[in-house]
């Protein structure tokens, strides 16, 4: 192996990282997070990644220090758990999952396709809906969160009404960060696993399409077209997931895996100095 290859590999990773970190830095600045606090979070992420993905090479603090470039005193400090870091899903995440089931699964929708109005408790109730999604959070807590975010309303008859047809969690700045973290983490994990994998095809779906030389009007139409296609995938994915869960239960298979599938779109004015050549094209990792 040529001596220059490790440096070339590092340079390539850092060039890619610079692009990935720009929107992250924008979020940090918007959230009032100084660089020193962000760098502390990055140190902890280094240690967590080393312990999780390089277990054979990270058996003790000395090995962790070699892997990460952090001294052993720092390693000792950074391996002390912090409350809520890398913690369980938030109530907003559970609320999103319940709302998705409510608006997407046929048994919770009426003849017109809209989510049914549900009694609080009993058969076919909101409690039953919530428990069909998770047993890790009380239905009352999930309902409170949906009401707080404006995605559910409790009527005078104690029936629960769904509000809207898409969970976007746009109410408060802090409410938007949970879905952002979960979605970007899984997207990044898929992309990184594909880059590091030796197998063909890549182990995870991670694709995107790109088009430029569009007017603002055409860009808006293309984004609207993508949203329509997402709705179709959304409904088909939920139906298929329900079928497979029932099949697993029937065969007694251990339910140890999770799957997240997403779609994203972004539009901005073109930068001729950095954008790829004109025309639609597909990218993959």
Contacts 24+ apart (CB under 8 A), 259-266: 260/182, 260/183, 260/186, 261/205, 261/233, 261/237, 262/183, 262/186, 262/187, 263/226, 263/229, 263/230, 263/233, 264/187, 264/208, 265/223, 265/226, 265/227
Rg (CA), the chain: 23
Q: 20-41: per-residue pLDDT in tens? A: 999 999 999 988 888 988 998 8
Q: Would you state the pLDDT for residue 88?
A: 40
Copy the structure tokens of residue 72.
């052993």
- Cα separation, 110 vs 106, whole angstroms: 8
Q: Would you state the pLDDT for residue 104?
A: 84
- Cα separation, 165 vs 167, whole angstroms: 7
Q: Would you state the pLDDT for residue 131?
A: 93
Query: Residue 218: is its pLDDT beyond 60?
Result: yes
Higher pLDDT, residue 77 or 171: 77
- Cα separation, 64 vs 54, whole angstroms: 9
- Cα separation, 64 vs 48, whole angstroms: 10
pTM: 0.68
Which of 164-168, 211-215, 267-271 has the lowest average pLDDT? 164-168
Query: Residue 85: is its pLDDT beyond 60?
Result: no
Q: Would you state the pLDDT for residue 24?
A: 93
Higher pLDDT, residue 156 or 279: 156
Q: Contact at 8 Å (CB) between 115 and 100? A: no
Which residues, at least 6 apart from 123, have a Cβ–Cβ distance to it below 8 Å?
none
Higher pLDDT, residue 184 or 90: 184
% of the chain exceeding 70 in pLDDT: 86
- Cα separation, 127 vs 120, whole angstroms: 6
Q: Three-state SS across the chain?
A: CCCCHHHHHHHHHHHHHHHHHHHHHHHHHHCCCCHHHHHHHHHHHHHHHHHHHCHHHCCCHHHHHHHHCCCHHHHHHHCCCCCCCCCCCCHHHHHHHHHHHHHHCHHHECCCCCECCEECCCCCCHHHHHHHHCCCCCHHHHHHHHHHHCCEEECCCCEEEECCCCCCCCCCHHHHHHHHHHHHHHHHHHHHHHHHCCCCCCCCCCEEEECCCCCHHHHHHHHHHHHHHHHHHHHHHHHHHHHHHHHHHHHCCCCCCCCCCCCCCCCCCCCCCCCCCCCCEEEEC
Confidence of residue 147 (pLDDT cuts 50, 70, 90): very high
Confidence of residue 155 (pLDDT cuts 50, 70, 90): very high
Mean pLDDT score across all residues of the chain: 85
Q: Would you state the pLDDT for residue 202?
A: 87
Q: Contact at 8 Å (CB) between 47 and 68? A: yes
- Cα separation, 227 vs 63, whole angstroms: 47
Query: Residue 134: is its pLDDT beyond 90?
Result: no
Closest CA to 277 of 229, 211, 189: 211
**Phi and psi, residue 118, nearest 5°:** -120, 140
Query: Residue 118: is its pLDDT beyond 90?
Result: yes
Q: Would you state the pLDDT for residue 281?
A: 56
Confidence of residue 1 (pLDDT cuts 50, 70, 90): very low
% of the chain exceeding 90 in pLDDT: 43
- Cα separation, 104 vs 268, whole angstroms: 31
Confidence of residue 90 (pLDDT cuts 50, 70, 90): low
Confidence of residue 139 (pLDDT cuts 50, 70, 90): very high
């Amino acid at each position: 192996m040529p001596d220059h290859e490790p440096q070339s590999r590092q340079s390539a990773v850092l060039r890619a990282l610079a692009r990935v970190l720009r929107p992250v830095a924008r979020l940090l600045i918007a959230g009032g997070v100084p660089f020193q606090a962000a760098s502390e979070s990055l140190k902890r992420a280094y240690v967590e990644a080393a312990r999780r993905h390089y277990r054979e090479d990270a058996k003790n603090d000395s090995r962790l220090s070699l892997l990460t470039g952090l001294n052993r005193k720092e390693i000792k400090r950074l391996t002390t758990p912090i409350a809520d870091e890398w913690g369980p899903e938030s109530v907003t995440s559970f609320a999103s999952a319940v709302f998705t089931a409510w608006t997407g699964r046929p048994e919770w929708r009426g003849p017109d396709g809209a989510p049914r109005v549900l009694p609080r408790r009993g058969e076919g109730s909101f409690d039953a809906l919530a428990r069909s999604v998770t047993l890790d959070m009380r239905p009352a807590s999930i309902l409170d969160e949906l009401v707080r975010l404006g995605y559910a309303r409790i009527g005078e008859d104690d029936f629960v009404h769904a509000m809207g047809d898409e969970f976007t969690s746009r109410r408060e700045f802090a409410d938007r960060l949970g879905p952002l973290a979960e979605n970007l983490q899984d997207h990044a994990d898929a992309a990184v696993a594909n880059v590091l994998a030796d197998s063909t095809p890549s182990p995870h779906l991670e694709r995107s399409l790109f088009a430029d030389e569009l007017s603002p009007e055409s860009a808006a139409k293309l984004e609207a077209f993508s949203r329509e296609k997402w709705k179709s995938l959304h409904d088909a994915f939920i139906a298929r997931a329900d079928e497979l869960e029932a099949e697993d239960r029937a065969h007694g298979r251990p339910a140890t895996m999770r799957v997240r599938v997403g779609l994203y779109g972004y539009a901005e004015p073109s930068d001729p100095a950095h954008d790829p050549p004109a025309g639609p094209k597909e990218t993959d990792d």
